[in-house]
Amino acid sequence: MEKIKFGIIGLGRLGIKHAENIAFRTPGAELTAVCALEEDVIEKVKKEWGVKYGYTSYDDMIQNKELDAIFICSPSAHHCEQISKALDAGYHVFSEKPLGVSLEECRLAEKAVEKHPDKVFMLGFMRRFDPSYMYAKQKIKEGAIGKPILFRGYSVDPVSAIEGAIRFAAHSGGQYLDMAVHDIDLARWFLESEAKTCYAIGGCYAFEEFAQYEDGDNCSALMQFKNDTMAFFLAGRTAAHGYNVETEIIGTKGTLRIAGIPQKNHVEILDQHGVRRECSQNFLERFEQAYVNELHAFVDCIRNGTKPDVSVYDGTKFNYYCLCSNRIFPQ
Amino acid sequence: MEKIKFGIIGLGRLGIKHAENIAFRTPGAELTAVCALEEDVIEKVKKEWGVKYGYTSYDDMIQNKELDAIFICSPSAHHCEQISKALDAGYHVFSEKPLGVSLEECRLAEKAVEKHPDKVFMLGFMRRFDPSYMYAKQKIKEGAIGKPILFRGYSVDPVSAIEGAIRFAAHSGGQYLDMAVHDIDLARWFLESEAKTCYAIGGCYAFEEFAQYEDGDNCSALMQFKNDTMAFFLAGRTAAHGYNVETEIIGTKGTLRIAGIPQKNHVEILDQHGVRRECSQNFLERFEQAYVNELHAFVDCIRNGTKPDVSVYDGTKFNYYCLCSNRIFPQ
Amino acid sequence: MEKIKFGIIGLGRLGIKHAENIAFRTPGAELTAVCALEEDVIEKVKKEWGVKYGYTSYDDMIQNKELDAIFICSPSAHHCEQISKALDAGYHVFSEKPLGVSLEECRLAEKAVEKHPDKVFMLGFMRRFDPSYMYAKQKIKEGAIGKPILFRGYSVDPVSAIEGAIRFAAHSGGQYLDMAVHDIDLARWFLESEAKTCYAIGGCYAFEEFAQYEDGDNCSALMQFKNDTMAFFLAGRTAAHGYNVETEIIGTKGTLRIAGIPQKNHVEILDQHGVRRECSQNFLERFEQAYVNELHAFVDCIRNGTKPDVSVYDGTKFNYYCLCSNRIFPQ
Amino acid sequence: MEKIKFGIIGLGRLGIKHAENIAFRTPGAELTAVCALEEDVIEKVKKEWGVKYGYTSYDDMIQNKELDAIFICSPSAHHCEQISKALDAGYHVFSEKPLGVSLEECRLAEKAVEKHPDKVFMLGFMRRFDPSYMYAKQKIKEGAIGKPILFRGYSVDPVSAIEGAIRFAAHSGGQYLDMAVHDIDLARWFLESEAKTCYAIGGCYAFEEFAQYEDGDNCSALMQFKNDTMAFFLAGRTAAHGYNVETEIIGTKGTLRIAGIPQKNHVEILDQHGVRRECSQNFLERFEQAYVNELHAFVDCIRNGTKPDVSVYDGTKFNYYCLCSNRIFPQ
């Protein structure tokens, strides 16, 4: 069977990981082209991994007819335009989240996807592909916890990453766009409904630097969904113990918790600090397998002509939610 | 040293436990009188525990000049009146929470306490006397987690107790008055501030029976306090695993969790269900020691002429909070 | 009902705790007399707790005919003689473990007990009265883990107590007599059989000071019991995290673990060290309730004319086991 | 860079996993040939994975000069002979454990490895490549627990696999050869010494069927090593909760535990059974990543001309240990 030939745009910290996963961890996939601004990175990847083509121009890459699929890991502001171009050029497209930075461009991306129903489009809501989240979803489908009542999602970055967060604060979309994007998607996925009301609060508790951007270092929100279920979110930047992504789904007959302790591995330490677990320190460590699994799912969809679980509309929804702090959502 | 002689009103499930603690687990205390509607219970206690006096009338009991202190464990609607009467009659008073069922009567109780500054008045916010909560409070004082950011309090009753809850629903003050009373007190205690805004939601997810009383089986609330800290509450009645009282205080430098797993004891079971902990099934099991400790503190205050950590105003505050769903608190 | 009047000998760290439990935590018991070498301690207890009699001579105390029961918490070398004297003088007797320091004197204690079948004699194997061990025993009785296969018992003191252990080493009976006494009793209790073979090893891994007494700072033993079950013991003095008493019973259908994490309370800490539990630091902290429960059981036996679960023969057995390292036990 | 071309012998349950790892999860490796008795399996793999060559004869495969390395996953009795043949034919060799079934043939394998110092030979002690064991080893190197005192290794198969174990019992080398092989290797690796004495016991506690082969369903052993450290092993077949591979290294300054709870993933379930973790059910689930990592290490050694951490002598040692129950090891 022919391999699916990928071209990727964006070779930053996450992009290089995706490239590596395409090249070495996805049976049936081949990393055929890379596109980035940094020529030295392109050369390095071509040489060390045997990648055939390198580009500094996205428009050039999407004229390469050897390719089957385009993987987009560029800055968020370019996603929608690059998605449309790639689909129009005849490729399957995988884009990192978020779909876009405004509702308007998300709508344009939706149109592009609708125009090419024969092409697979998938958005990188990778947590849905983490083995633990998949297991939790399956448990719920099987009725293990009855009907969901409340979703609780924490996404708190380690304080060790605070310098970068402060530097990036001016250009970020705020705590919500950066940190809660996955939790909002997970809430919709687990609760199987959309929010009808939202109340959001927060502040600068440790780092006043965020105040000038009308942002905070920790914020939280409580939503009620149309099916009456509830969702509580905490997005923060000051976890001392590590990368704290913790999820709870409380149901009428049971509760599931995912990574209540974000343990790094199976090692428990007993020493002068007590009995303890060291924690994952970043998303690449915690979600290594999820990034691999989402690629497998994308390739499977291309092979089998099926649609991914994550649609373009899931991407738009997030931007919609971000506009709706402390208000009633328009129906 | 002379023992403090107690008279207690109310010998229900919790009252009988308090009576037992006074009689047998509080050095320096003596259970001298009991008052209840059920004459057989009075006789039983007098005979088996050697209690000197039994009453069916509260007014009679508080004329017994042998007594030093009155312990009130009657229905909530009687608390305020009984507190005033006992203080006026010259006794130290310990009352179960809540202080009262309306803000007005709470104000009257405040006045009664203010009128007798030489008497000790204490309200039964017993969680503050649980060894784990005391330990957490001490840790925070020592700076272990920096400044608090968010308080999360769950109080979920086991679903095994649902029948009683439904029967009692017509006469209850709702989820909040029943279940969140301790969490609201804990939030105020840990965050050291008062709420300025509140947003509360909820519903009937498993038991429609609560709807007729405009109540739900699970409800949650998100508050912001005057010092900008946040508090999230969940009060529910449908926990499958047991009596789930779980508290988290997230700070700028660390986080404390109390009873994230409400484990019954130190036993871990490995069997066909996995590796598991069985859980406490009710408040008497979980907070056995807290009920003892609060009595010790009360007796110490009487002995030493000091004031309890829990004041009459803490009692009023709770009723105030209950009136304030989805609104901005008046300053 | 008349209270059981206790006289206690020995007011060291543990003795004073027992005295306090008799005085204030045991319904139906009264601390009537204390006996110790230190006159100031006697005076303090008489005054502060209202104890009626104080003695510096054991022989004097056991002539006090007001007393019903004698509690022995003196140095181990005196236990057997004091037990015999108290029984002969007509008292019920509770003795701290071990029963004695030689098999011969244990046999004499057995004879004394046999001579007074109307008197209650109980030995302080208090772990059997710890709520978690009691729960585990009950679970096994109910068949929760099938038939036991292997017992694993760790008793490791915190390294913070090492100085005292070294000072005491010359006079101690070694790791086994000091540390494994409870584990050997628990193994016999859970496995319901006696050892047939034993293999024991150990050494000085951190503190060479023990070598001069032919002792070690950590030692372990593997035994096979007559019913073919197995038992593994670790006794040590170098735990960094606290007082590590951990027990496991592996059965044909399940496994129970008691205090795999010797957690101090319900507080979990998330900070720069990871997610952690602080631990109990000594036996008084870990087994506070067990010391109370064993007293309750003793008083119940006196009241009801029943025999304690722990017999004088359980005491002798331990000394027997101590003689039998690396050998086949005589049948 | 040219890919390392692998031929594999043995396509059973584990062999097919290794083949898949070579084909799809090892950058720089290619699955070029497979050898098995089952022609349909060969055809399936050739077709579905695009494998170039298929053989039913090992001797034929090792004449294929396209190959660089042979991976041996055949029955244990063939390992040594196949290792020698492959090395003599000029290939790098990776063999599943155990090295062989007798000390004599292990010695022959050692000779073959010594004869070809330019070839990489590696034995599949894969636990050394599990991320958690690697992390523990690194921690110990850094001094996190001081000097090791005791190693405890449990390897207990789920009782759900008992039928196969009974069927296989006649041909197995017993509990030790089957179950303790990894633990003995780990003990040697962590304690950095060799055993000097051993005491082993066991029995049939749940399944009498093993008795006829002079084997048991659970057995344990206690060893002392030449550097005085201790090692306790439990090998069993009756775990109700899953595949229980648990390791503990107790040191003078701390303790490490690996997989004390053999949790399947990050999901915690709160339901009528309590608060619980479901467990891994077999070695492929628990050690998926270790099997990948050992292959990466093997390929790295070939690329870089280095020697693996696991030598042929580590393989022989295990067989030596198996001969030495209840005896003093010859020096």
> DSSP labels for C109-156?
HHHHHHH-TTS-EEE--GGGGSHHHHHHHHHHHTTTT-SEEEEEEEEE
Q: What integer pLDDT is reported at residue C179 of this predicted model?
A: 76
Residue D1 has pLDDT above 90, yes or no: no
**Separation CA C231–CA A304 (nearest Å):** 57
**Separation CA C128–CA C137 (nearest Å):** 9
Residue B165 distance to chain A (closest CA, Å): 16
Taking contacts as CB-CB distances below 8 angstroms, the residues of chain C near A275 are 241, 261-263, 276-277, 279
Residue D326 has pLDDT above 80, yes or no: no
**Which of D241, D244, D272 comes nearest B272 by C-beta?**
D241
Alpha carbon separation from A267 to A240, C89, D180 (Å, rounded): 19, 58, 20
Q: Which of residues 194-223 of C touch B (CB under 8 A)?
A: none
- Inter-chain touch D274–B278, beta carbons under 8 Å: yes
CA dihedral over A290, A293, A295, A297, signed as positive or negative? negative
**Separation CA C288–CA D5 (nearest Å):** 65
**Which of D239, D244, D275 comes nearest B276 by C-beta?**
D275
The strand pair at C230-239 and C148-158 is best described as: parallel
Q: How many CB atoms lie within 10 A of CB B92?
A: 23
Residue of D4, D257, D266, D277 to mutate for A, most A C-beta atoms under 10 A: D266
Residue B34 has pLDDT above 80, yes or no: yes
Residue A298, token pair as written in the block:
């994308």
- Inter-chain touch B274–D242, beta carbons under 8 Å: yes
- Inter-chain touch B269–C254, beta carbons under 8 Å: yes
CA dihedral over C58, C62, C66, C68, signed as positive or negative? positive
- Nearest 5°: phi and psi at B187? -60, -45
Residue C51, token pair as written in the block:
């104890």
C33-44 per-position pLDDT tens digit: 999 999 999 999
- Inter-chain touch B150–A234, beta carbons under 8 Å: yes
Q: What integer pLDDT is reported at residue D323 of this predicted model?
A: 67
B92-95: strand order across its sheet? B53-55, B29-35, B4-9, B69-72, B92-95, B121-123
Q: What is the mean pLDDT of chain A?
A: 94
- Inter-chain touch B267–C1, beta carbons under 8 Å: no
**Separation CA B20–CA C46 (nearest Å):** 26
- Inter-chain touch A274–C240, beta carbons under 8 Å: no
- Nearest 5°: phi and psi at B329? -70, 135
HEC readout, C232-271: EEEEEEEECCCCEEEEEEEECCCEEEECCCCECCCEEEEE
What percent of chain A shows pLDDT beyond 70? 95
Residue D179 distance to chain A (closest CA, Å): 20
Residue A326 has pLDDT above 80, yes or no: no
**Separation CA C16–CA B6 (nearest Å):** 28
C215-268 per-position pLDDT tens digit: 899 999 999 999 999 999 999 999 999 999 999 999 999 999 999 999 999 999
Eight-class DSSP state of D80: H
Cα–Cα nearest to A277, from B320, D258, D66:
D258
- Inter-chain touch D254–A272, beta carbons under 8 Å: yes
Chains that touch B (3 or more CB pairs under 8 A): A, C, D
Q: Which of residues 259-288 of A touch D (CB under 8 A)?
A: 259-260, 263-272
Chains that touch D (3 or more CB pairs under 8 A): A, B, C
Residue C330 has pLDDT above 70, yes or no: no
Q: What is the mean pLDDT of chain B?
A: 94
Q: Which residue has the tokens 């109980």?
A: C122
What angle (nearest 5°) sits at the alpha carbon of residue B234, between those of residues B228 and B239?
Answer: 160
The strand pair at B69-72 and B92-95 is best described as: parallel
Q: What integer pLDDT is reported at residue A71 of this predicted model?
A: 98
Residue of C192, C199, C256 to mutate for D, most D C-beta atoms under 10 A: C199
> Partners of B9 in the beta sheet?
B35, B72
Residue D169 has pLDDT above 90, yes or no: no
C131-190 per-position pLDDT tens digit: 999 999 999 999 999 999 999 999 999 999 999 999 988 877 676 667 788 999 999 999
**Which of B262, B274, B278 comes nearest D241 by C-beta?**
B274
Q: Which of residues 94-123 of D touch C (CB under 8 A)?
A: none
Average the pLDDT over each of A10-14, B214-218, B289-293 and give the range with the smallest value.
Answer: B214-218
Q: What integer pLDDT is reported at residue C268 of this predicted model?
A: 97
Chains that touch C (3 or more CB pairs under 8 A): A, B, D
The strand pair at A4-9 and A29-35 is best described as: parallel
Chains that touch A (3 or more CB pairs under 8 A): B, C, D
**Separation CA A82–CA A73 (nearest Å):** 10
Q: Does A257 touch chain C (CB under 8 A)?
A: no
- Inter-chain touch D274–B239, beta carbons under 8 Å: no
Q: Looking at this predicted complex, what is its ipTM?
A: 0.94
**Separation CA A31–CA A50 (nearest Å):** 9
Residue type, A310: V
**Separation CA D58–CA D70 (nearest Å):** 10
Q: Looking at chain B, which residue has its C-alpha nearest residue D274? A: B278
Cα–Cα nearest to C172, from C233, C224, C219, C107:
C219
Q: Does C140 touch chain B (CB under 8 A)?
A: no
Taking contacts as CB-CB distances below 8 angstroms, the residues of chain B near D270 are 239-241, 244
Rg (CA), chain C: 20
Q: What integer pLDDT is reported at residue C321 of this predicted model?
A: 85
Q: Looking at chain B, which residue has its C-alpha nearest residue D243? A: B274
The strand pair at A274-277 and C274-277 is best described as: antiparallel
Q: What mean pLDDT do residues A289-294 have?
A: 97
Confidence of residue C320 (pLDDT cuts 50, 70, 90): confident
**Separation CA C292–CA C18 (nearest Å):** 8
Q: Does B254 touch chain C (CB under 8 A)?
A: yes
- Inter-chain touch C205–D221, beta carbons under 8 Å: no
Which three-class secondary structure state does DSSP give residue C202?
strand
Residue A174 has pLDDT above 80, yes or no: no
D53-97 per-position pLDDT tens digit: 999 999 999 999 999 999 999 999 999 999 999 999 999 999 999
Which three-class secondary structure state does DSSP give residue A175?
helix
What global pTM score does this model have?
Answer: 0.95
Residue B277 distance to chain A (closest CA, Å): 14
B138-174 per-position pLDDT tens digit: 999 999 999 999 999 999 999 999 999 999 888 776 7
Q: Does C49 touch chain D (CB under 8 A)?
A: no
Q: What integer pLDDT is reported at residue D174 of this predicted model?
A: 72
